[in-house]
Homo-oligomer: A and B are copies of this chain.
Amino acid sequence: MTVQQGLLTIPARRGRALSLKAGEAVQIINTHGSQVVDTWVFNTEDITEFLSSEHMRATLGKLWPGKGDALITNRRRAIMTIEEDTSPGQHDTLIAACDSYRYSLLGCTEYHDNCTDNLHAAMRQIGLVAPECPSPLNLWMNIPVAEDGSTGWGEPLSKPGDYVILRAAMDCIVVMSACPQDMVPINGAACTPTEVHYRKLPVAE
C-alpha cells in the first residue's frame, strides 16, 4: 500500500497520543495488514473518565464493538463511535495490554517494548499522566472465544490498508500503541511488528 500524504506514522513497537475535539475523528490504518493496535481513550476534561472494556461490554451486550457501536467509558457514556471499519471487525476487549511481566514470563531477560509502557510514554509526551492502564480496545487482535468460554490466540483477519474511523463524542485523547509482541503470532505469523498510520479527520459536515 502506498502511504497517502498527510498521514502520520506510529512506528513499529511505539505509541502515540492524539487530542480530538468532539465531532473530530481519527482514521487508524493497518498499513501492512496484520498489526494489532492497542487503543485507549480518555476524556480530555477529566482523564479519570476513560474507555472501559468492562463497562462497554455491559452496555453493548457483546464482547467486541463493531461498526456503528459506541465506545463506552467507566461513567457509562459514549466517548467515541466506530464510524467505519473495513476489516472483518474482529477486535478484542478481553486481553490486557502487554507489559514487562508478560515478556518476563515468555522468557525475556532484558527490556522488551510493551503496550503498557507505550501508553504511559505517549501520555507523558503530551504532558499528562495516565491514571492507570485501562484494559485496552485491541484493534484487529483476534481472540476467538468458544461457547465453553475458552479463548485462543489468533492471527489478525485484517488485510493491508484496512482501517477504522473512530469519531469523538466528546473532547478526548486517543492513545494508540503498535503492539511490540514478537514472541507469539498475535501480529501475524511472521511475528514482525510493523508501523501503522493514522490521521485526524475534521468534524463531519
Tell me the A residues contacting B by CB distance below 8 Å: 52-55, 57-58, 61-64, 74-77, 94-96, 99, 101-102, 105, 131-132, 135, 145-152
Q: Is A151's CB under 8 angstroms from B94's CB?
A: no
Q: Is A62's CB under 8 angstroms from B150's CB?
A: yes
Inter-chain CA distance A149–B57, complex, in Å, is 10
Inter-chain CA distance A64–B148, complex, in Å, is 9
Q: A58 with B145: in contact, given A76-B102, A105-B76 (CB under 8 Å)?
A: no
Q: Is B149's CB under 8 angstroms from A54's CB?
A: no
Q: How many copies does the complex hold?
A: 2
Q: Is B62's CB under 8 angstroms from A151's CB?
A: yes
Q: A54 with B135: in contact, given A62-B150, A75-B101, A101-B76 (CB under 8 Å)?
A: yes
Q: Which residue of B lies closest to A94 (CB)?
A: B57
Which residues of chain B are within 8 angstroms of A61 by Cβ–Cβ distance? 150-152
Min CB gap A138→B, angstroms: 10
Inter-chain CA distance A147–B63, complex, in Å, is 10
Q: Is A55's CB under 8 angstroms from B147's CB?
A: no
Which residues of chain B are within 8 angstroms of A63 by Cβ–Cβ distance? 94, 145, 149-151
What are the 8 tightest A-B residue pairs by CB atom distance, in nearest-first order? Answer: A54-B96, A63-B149, A54-B135, A76-B101, A55-B96, A62-B150, A62-B149, A58-B95
A–B pairs, 14, beta carbons within 8 Å = A52-B96, A57-B94, A57-B151, A58-B96, A58-B102, A61-B152, A62-B148, A62-B151, A63-B149, A76-B102, A94-B94, A131-B132, A135-B135, A146-B147
Q: Which residue of B lies closest to A53 (CB)?
A: B54
Q: A74 with B54: in contact, given A135-B135, A146-B147, A151-B61 (CB under 8 Å)?
A: no
Q: Which residue of B lies closest to A64 (CB)?
A: B149
Inter-chain CA distance A37–B135, complex, in Å, is 22
